[in-house]
């Protein structure tokens, strides 16, 4: 966890760091602590030795982080990860934007991706 500038557009001489909550770890210690907490929580759901993992996947930060951790071996051994995304549209023929974003994220992570588009006009 790092302190951040209140505005990315602020000139360097006007930059101020936003205060972290009292007692919050900062710098590399905070990042390492957060990573350890996420990996510990993930190991409760995906025991060591698990070979395949299915993950509901939006392509956002949370599901992307989980897919990345599973696929790169942070659980003791890398798992084969399949990400599943459901997108909704209303009578359009093109791929819904949420599915396109999830596909791009899965491709970037190098994990298998499966999708299902639901046409709300047909339900």
Range of the domain at 12: 1-45
111 has a pLDDT exceeding 50:
yes
Residues 75, 95: one domain? yes
R_g (Cα) of the chain, nearest Å: 19
Residues 38, 83: one domain? no
Residues 68, 34: one domain? no
Residues 36, 78: one domain? no
> Residue 66: which CATH number?
3.40.50.620
> Using CA atoms, how far apart are residues 27 and 68, in angstroms rounded to an integer?
22
Residue ending a domain, among 45, 63, 78, is 45
Report the 10 Å Cβ neighbour count for 66: 21
11 has a pLDDT exceeding 60:
no
Mean pLDDT for all residues in the chain? 79
Could you tell me the pLDDT band of residue 21, with boundaries at 50, 70 and 90? Answer: low
Residues 78, 97: one domain? yes
């Amino acid at each position: 966890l790092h302190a951040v500038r209140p505005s990315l557009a602020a000139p360097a001489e006007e930059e101020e760091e936003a205060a972290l909550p009292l007692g919050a770890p900062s710098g590399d210690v905070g990042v390492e602590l957060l990573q350890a907490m996420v990996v510990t929580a993930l190991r409760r759901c995906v025991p060591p030795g698990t070979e395949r993992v299915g993950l509901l996947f939006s392509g956002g930060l949370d599901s992307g982080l989980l897919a990345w951790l599973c696929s790169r071996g942070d659980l003791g051994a890398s798992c084969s990860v399949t990400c599943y995304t459901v997108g909704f549209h209303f009578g359009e023929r093109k791929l819904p934007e949420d599915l396109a974003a999830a596909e791009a994220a899965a491709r970037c992570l190098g994990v298998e991706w499966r999708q299902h588009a639901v046409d709300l006009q047909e339900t």
